[in-house]
Structure 1
């Protein structure tokens, strides 16, 4: 019988990595910025991340999803990673964490 993977623990590792990726125009990581909508981890240790960008015309639209995918793939327990971009719902400042709002002087 194969070893059972703790998807909660793996999810925490993924979030930790996501918090090291910053939007180049805003000094806040993409997780606190609210760009990550969902993280799915299946039993085969494959990860799918549903994320958005601040705008459809975001200058990092081509590079940021690739960076997210590559960094997630560096986690030992991850076999594969895929990033899907969505604009539904569109990103807004309400999606930002309190920490991000504080950092940007919005509180």
Structure 2
């Protein structure tokens, strides 16, 4: 864990940080929104790359099924670790598993309205 991650965890543990009122799933989604696709300048959650999110709040376990915009993406081998690191930075997360899947293939239809608006598609 680097110094930035340590500071982020320490800040999240402070009273009034929202960790006691926000559910773990909401905090995980917030963390996923800090990870940006390497080719399209949008976060992976609003881009629709996250296909499944299972959060066990009691155990602090998070399982993510996700894809990339293209199977030949040059970061396919390293990107799951990037996502894992972001989710591990969330207070209350003890275990993270990221599974990269290719079926169904990603399409623009999976993007949120906010992502479409940001790209000028609405």
User: CA offsets per residue over residues 1-40 of structure 1, 9 Å max, x none?
Assistant: xxxxx9x800000000000000121111000100001111
How big is each residue's C-alpha offset from its partner over 1:52-90, in whole Å with a ceiling of 9 and x where there is no partner? 110110122122211001111111201110100111111
Q: Which residue of 1 aligns with 2:13?
A: none
Q: How many residues align?
A: 101
Q: CA RMSD in A?
A: 1.5
Per-residue deviation, 1:50: 0.6
Matched ranges for 1:12-91 at <5 A: 12-42=26-56, 43-91=58-106
Match of 1:97 among 92, 112, 121: 112
Could you list the runs of 4 or more consecutive aligned residues of structure 1 that deviate by over 4 angstroms after TM superposition? none
- Structure 2: where are the runs of 5+ without partners? 1-19
Task: Identify unmatched segments of 5+ residues in structure 1.
Answer: 1-5
Whole-Å separation in 2 of the counterparts to 1:74 and 1:98: 27
